Amino acid sequence: MIVTPGIAVVLFALGMALLSQLALTFAQVNRLYRLVRHAEQDLFTLIERRMERLPQLIRTGDDVRGIASDLSAIQVACNAQRNAVTLTDRVEAAQAVHRAIATLISRADTLGLMQKNHGGAFVEVLLELQEQEPFLNAARERFNQAAVAWNTNRRLFPNSILAGARGLAEIPVFSPYDR
């Protein structure tokens, strides 16, 4: 096949444009992935702070009547959170801890334990956990937004090839029922 100088210039220009687009796509994939990891780090820092308070909640709640099953559920969820390795496992365990705490807060409120005049270390820790929820919800929302943006962008060509080649999988999101 004979390539004329005009065709060679056009092929060269197309090749350069393709390389330029590939570099922009690679930068976009990296930017979105860093955004997700930053949101993940912020969220799980807050979750770890909450996890630090749960042993005290369990200790001080042992002598409160009517909440033993809720404390047991929190203990099981905490163990799952500590043993979680993958991001999917960490998200599922964090959701389980959140549900267990929400159930405990609901039951404590029903039993009349959440009144400020009730006092005690158990109620203080429970109120602290309840005060942390808006911050956790905001961090979950930021994480979910970043994860959805990543997952959507990752499915597009040529991002799917670049992400797949680097072993960058889809990111799990928190279910809407746990926000």
Q: Give mean pLDDT in consecutive 10-residue pieces for the chain, a chain of 179 residues.
A: 72 68 68 89 94 90 82 92 92 92 88 68 87 92 91 75 69 71
Q: With beta carbons less than 8 A apart as the criterion, state whether 144 and 36 touch.
A: no
Residue 118 pLDDT: 60
Number of domains into which the chain is organized: 1
Residue 83 pLDDT: 94
Residue 68 pLDDT: 86
Residue 15, domain member (yes or no) = no
Residue 160 pLDDT: 67
Residue 5, domain member (yes or no) = no
Residue 24, domain member (yes or no) = no
* Helical axes 68-83 vs 87-110, angle rounded to 10°: 160
Residue 116 pLDDT: 57
Residue 128, domain member (yes or no) = yes
Residue 133, domain member (yes or no) = yes
CATH assignment at residue 87: 1.20.1440.20
Residue 49, domain member (yes or no) = yes
Q: Which domain holds residue 79?
A: 34-178
Residue 148, domain member (yes or no) = yes
Residue 42, domain member (yes or no) = yes
Report pTM.
0.77
Distance of CA 126 to the CA centre of its chain: 23
